[in-house]
Amino acid sequence: MPADPHPAFCWKLNLNGQTAGFLSTVDFPTETSMTFDVSGKMTGMVYDWIFQTLQGQRRMLGGTLITLDTTLKPVYCDAWDSGWIQQMVLAPLDASQAKPMVFSLTLQISNLREVPLPQAGGGAAVQPASKSLLRGTTQRFQRQRFRVASVATGGSRRDADLNCAAFKVTMNGSQNAYFVKKLGKLTVNAGSISPLVMTMGESVATDFRAWKQAGGQRDVTILCLNTALRSFFSVTCSGSTIAQIHPPVPINPTGATDVTLNVSRLAMNFVT
């Protein structure tokens, strides 16, 4: 089989006619769904869309996805009329690794189709030389291959350092602040929120054990601190209850303890 004359390198995502950012991972599992990862290289409108979804708004956006080859030349263009975020997954975070936050979004889209390539300066659209390979297939590339150096950021996010170096947790009913080591994967699917696992030292878990024994709901706020130990992102878990604590009783005072929260409502935002 001959080699693809236009090997895909990355994708340019446009939403409602505006540049949303560049993607290194794209998946079209069906003709009506699309999955891609979002990191700090996206514009503010994408994060605004995520936050609006968490508030219960089903905002519909049309879009195009332009496939760029290894010379960053557009070779394909796929479009859809409208799409909404069905699922948002915040990947697990480990403070010891200081990695950037990554959201994985799954969109439900309508009328996915290949369209002519748009031209700079408003020139006439051009038909691609060959058919798009996106529909019905999965295109995945290692993140380190993403080498687009200059991507604009929106006004909703001024701090480009999204490397999480620490997590500071507060909760109503306590004056204390707690530093936790890890946050487990957090999934929001059509309004349903998965349990959130926080990994902390046993000395930190004391107040959470007291909360579990007393019962009741609390609001928990998690501040993500960057490598300069500045807060840049907040996750608020409202109406939370403790589902379980592992180990169930203190065993090793220097060991790790997992606290699992059931969350009623979720809000996220960048700290300005």
Give the model confidence (pLDDT) of 234-270 as tens digits. 999 999 999 999 999 998 888 899 999 999 999 998 8
Mean pLDDT of the chain: 82
- Residue 77: what pLDDT? 92
Distance CA 82, CA 98 (A): 36
pLDDT digits (tens, 9 = 90+) for 9-22: 789 999 999 999 88
Q: Is the pLDDT of residue 31 over 50?
A: yes
CATH architecture of structural domain 166-270: Roll (2.30)
Q: Token digits for 267?
A: 């809000």
Q: Give the three-state DSSP class for 263.
A: coil
Q: Is the pLDDT of residue 123 over 50?
A: no
Q: Do 8-145 and 166-270 show the same overall fold? A: yes
Q: Is the pLDDT of residue 41 over 60?
A: no
CATH number attached to the domain at 8-145: 2.30.110
- 83 forms bridges with which residues in the sheet? 61, 109
Q: Give the three-state DSSP class for 122.
A: helix
pLDDT digits (tens, 9 = 90+) for 48-94: 999 999 888 899 999 999 989 888 889 889 999 999 999 999 999 99
**Quick one: CA dihedral 231, 221, 170, 260, positive or negative?**
negative
- Residue extents of the structural domains in the chain: 8-145, 166-270
In SS3 terms, 78-96 reads as EEEEEEEEEEEEECCEECC
